[in-house]
Amino acid sequence: MVFDDGTHRVKLTLQGPAHSRGDAVAYLPKEKILVSGDLCVNWNWGNNVADPDADFDHWIRVLDQLAQWKVQTVVPGHGSLATTETMRGQRAYLADMQEKVRVGIKAGKTADQLVQEIDLSRHGSFGANAEGNGVSIRAMHRKLAAVR
């Protein structure tokens, strides 16, 4: 959907399910502003992956796609203003977690074992909160193990 008053243009695009079923973004191409909602956050609590409609593979693809747009400012779902580098950081955090959880599931590990083993701290603010990471790892394990 596009709104254009002759001065400003806003493109609304449904992206979900990714973080959740209703994920949508608003893009102002002239101003190079992207409002990402919870697809990207910019704070020290990571990003909650526990939404029952989350689609981790699609979420990662969406972040890849959005990072290719001509954007100077990202307005995240939570936290301070960001950049495409923030989206790339969000993507790296999610992809790393997903890869490690998949490997752990394949090896027969429980969610609690993976919470103890997976270190996401190298992902800066996204991986800084160990408790939040644990919640996300458990949620991801539950969802990915169910579709095996």
Give residue-wise pLDDT tens across range 8-26: 999 999 999 999 999 999 9
pLDDT of 1 over the 80 cut:
yes
Task: Give the residue among 142, 144, 137 at the shortest CA–CA distance from 120.
Answer: 137
Q: For the segment 109-137, what is each residue's pLDDT rounded down to a tens digit?
A: 999 999 999 999 999 999 999 999 999 99
pLDDT of 49 over the 80 cut:
yes
pLDDT at 45: 73
Distance CA 66, CA 84 (A): 8
pLDDT of 144 over the 80 cut:
yes
Which CA distances in Å does 103 have to 3, 39, 41, 97? 44, 24, 26, 10
Residue 61, burial from CB neighbour count under 10 angstroms (0-12, 13-18, 19+): middle
pLDDT at 47: 76
The overall average pLDDT reported for the chain is: 95
Distance CA 108, CA 103 (A): 9
Bigger pLDDT: 75 vs 48: 75
Which CA distances in Å does 71 have to 67, 135, 147? 8, 31, 35
Contact 1, 11 (CB under 8 A): yes
Q: Could you identify the residue written with the tokens 């979420």? A: 59
Sign of CA dihedral 71, 120, 52, 47: negative
Bigger pLDDT: 107 vs 43: 107
pLDDT at 43: 87
